[in-house]
Amino acid sequence: MNPKLLVVELWGLGDLLIATAFLRAASQQFAVTLLAKPYALDLQRRFWPGVNVVPFVAPWTRFKGKYHLPAWPWGRLLRLVKQLRAERFAVGLSARWDPRDHALLNLFAARERFGFARAQSQIFLTQALARPHPEAHRYEYWRVLGKALALDLPVPGRMPLPTARRGGMILLHTGAGQPVREWPLENYCCLARRLRERHFAVQIVCDPPQRRWWLDAGEREVATPETVTDLLGLVDRSRLFIGNDSGPGHLAALCGIPTFTIFGPQLPEWFVPLHPAAEWIEGKTCPYKPCSDYCRFPSPHCIKHLAEDEVWPRVEQFVKQC
């Protein structure tokens, strides 16, 4: 019987997708349980069917009010601790340098606990690992964890991926986890027009708050997927993906779709989708980058001031190459 491994990844869709190569490799040697947001169940069926998913929305992952303690689901937290302690995990780990993750691993009583210490959180770990280079991609944290467990993870650019469709549509996704990562919709509208003038089939995909804007702009076939499974259905019919720095881009890359990402407050070297043909454009300079979505200015000029005329030549080259 394989030893039990607990993996904690409680944050965004993109963060979870970046862990895919690790989860697949770990499943060959461990009985893996993943503690993650509920949409991990949608991903499990496609990407890591051998992983047991325990869905949980950690209150500290909210964008606002994360430490309003009376609103925390204390009953669910206590039941979760009891449930996972009973599993008697041989190993527990997190790829984030997050003391909250490390405290959870300790509460769950995993025998060995691996992670990247921060703010003295090594007191919760049995093995604190050295962090990769500060400019390294987030995937490198999973590679360090893999090495600690004697797992062989592929280097970026050599990950086994499906082959993209030929002749499919270009998916233009205009949403993001937070507004500071959203390139203006007016710019996306111009981008769609330019692509269609060159006879490319374009599918607009947006988040629910953006839907009315697109309908008012005359886009009748705009898609607003409500689940990750719905989004996967759109990705499966596409050949290229263009969008903001957000989870859907990582989902497309993992499905074998070349991506073009418009970055704002984050650094491309940290979060560019893991596809060998991935391209991107970086947002305007700012002394506070990366700012983790909490912009100090009334408007995030790093992405709002990135003109459509600057982005179009890069997109045009991208679609010609792919």
8-32 confidence digits (pLDDT tens): 999 999 999 999 999 999 999 999 9
Q: Is residue 28 part of a domain?
A: yes
What is the distance between the alpha carbons of residues 63 and 4, in angstroms, rounded to a whole number? Answer: 32
**Residue that is last in its domain, among 118, 148, 178:** 148
Residues 6+ apart with CB under 8 A from 275: 161, 252, 253, 256, 257, 258, 259
Is the domain of 128 the same as that of 174? no
Q: Is residue 164 part of a domain?
A: no
Is the domain of 119 the same as that of 177? no
pLDDT per residue, tens digit, the chain (322 aa), is 899 999 999 999 999 999 999 999 999 999 999 999 999 999 999 999 999 999 999 999 887 878 888 889 999 999 999 999 999 999 999 999 999 999 999 999 999 999 999 999 999 999 999 999 999 999 999 999 999 999 999 998 788 888 877 778 999 999 998 899 999 999 999 999 999 999 999 999 999 999 999 999 999 999 999 999 999 999 999 999 999 999 999 999 999 999 999 999 999 999 999 999 999 999 999 998 888 788 888 889 999 999 999 999 999 999 999 8
Report CA torsion sign: 85, 66, 126, 143: positive
What digits encode the pLDDT tens for the residues 249-302? 999 999 999 999 999 999 999 999 999 999 999 999 999 888 878 888 888 999
Is the domain of 144 the same as that of 178? no
Is the domain of 216 the same as that of 266? yes
Q: Mapping DSSP to helix (H, G, I), strand (E, B) and coil, where does residue 250 land? A: helix
Strands 202-205 and 169-173: parallel
pLDDT at 66: 84
Q: Is residue 160 part of a domain?
A: no
pLDDT at 69: 85
Q: Is residue 194 part of a domain?
A: yes
pLDDT at 186: 97
pLDDT at 322: 85
pLDDT at 89: 98
Domain, as residue range, for 182: 169-321
**CATH number of 204's domain:** 3.40.50.2000
Global pTM reads 0.95
Q: Is residue 314 part of a domain?
A: yes
- DSSP characters for 107-157? HTT-SEEEE---TTGGGG-SEEPPP--TTS-THHHHHHHHHHTT--PPPTT
Is residue 290 reached through a cis peptide bond, with omega within 30 degrees of 0 on the bond before it? yes
Q: Is residue 257 part of a domain?
A: yes
Q: Considering only CA atoms, which of 195, 207, 204 is closest in space to residue 318?
A: 195
Q: Could you give the angle at which helices 40-47 and 20-27 cross, rounded to 10 degrees? A: 60
Report how many domains make up the chain: 2
Write the DSSP symbol of residue 172.
Answer: E
What is the distance between the alpha carbons of residues 126 and 92, in angstroms, rounded to a whole number? Answer: 10
Is the domain of 144 the same as that of 258? no
Q: Is residue 154 part of a domain?
A: no
User: Which two tokens mark 195?
Assistant: 């692509």
Is the domain of 48 the same as that of 130? yes
